[in-house]
Copies of this chain bind each other. A is one copy, B any other.
Amino acid sequence: MTYCVGLRLDQGLVFASDTRTNAGFDNIAVFRKMHVWERRADRVIVLLSAGNLSVSQSVVSKLNEAIDAALQTRAFETTTPSINSCDTMFQVARMVGEAIREVRAVDGRALEEGGSRFSASFILGGQIQNEPPRLFQIYSEGNFIEATKDTPFFQIGEHKYGKPILDRVSRPDMTLGEAAKAVLLSFDSTLRSNLSVGMPIDLLLYTRDTLKLGEQRRIAADDEYFRRLSNGWADGLRDAFDSIESYAPERE
């Protein structure tokens, strides 16, 4: 299982993903689910993946192969389109969607005949040149939706345990630091309830209009800030619970 979150804020973008991959409960491994492309002063693109690991790795490989092919193109040839040549994040989302469909064309039938599901979902975010930062959720069919002011975050994978806290506190005018706090609390709830979502957590903060990667950090189980946050939240919830009067039966 997987848990990934992306937030689009006035000040930029925040991304987080867990790193646990499992094929059954007895076959667990650590894989990075956060993929990052940067061309300084031009674009920053971040892709979070959930679902079948072979599918999401193939999608990322296809995007990278297109970039490599473009680099090898000689001056007089037509440039191969890649996420580095797109003018907008919308075009990048289309390209990811197209890559998903190509992987499905190759692997989909065999997967389904073997009893597996072709499952893949992505959160895509970033900024290209003068465009504002944008955030998309891309489905396994290759279609996608974009985050708006009303819904500033997307989740993929095991999203239910961590959704209530994001619903309550996330607002577009949060600072990146507040948003990272909210995202890590959302992970804290998910990690407690679903063993197949596991630490470490990859966290990335992108500050609007910088067009370069900002804070990128891998948060392990012994991370000092995460421990304070987790304990502080446990205490805070306990206090909030205690501060509410108990239900008083009408008759006993």
Using a CB–CB distance below 8 Å, which chain A residues touch chain B? Answer: 160-161, 163-165, 167-169, 175-178, 180-182, 184-185, 189, 192-193, 203, 205, 207, 214-215, 217, 225, 228-229, 232-241, 243-252
CA distance A228 to B114 in the complex (A): 53
CA distance A248 to B184 in the complex (A): 13
Known contacts A236-B240, A243-B232, A167 near B192 by CB under 8 Å: yes
Contact yes or no, B177 A189, CB < 8 A: no
Can you identify 9 A-B contacts, CB atoms within 8 angstroms? A167-B192, A168-B238, A177-B246, A177-B249, A180-B249, A184-B247, A215-B251, A217-B250, A236-B239
Number of this chain's copies in the complex: 2
Top 10 closest A-B pairs, CB basis?
A236-B240, A180-B247, A160-B160, A177-B246, A215-B249, A232-B244, A164-B189, A177-B247, A178-B246, A181-B246
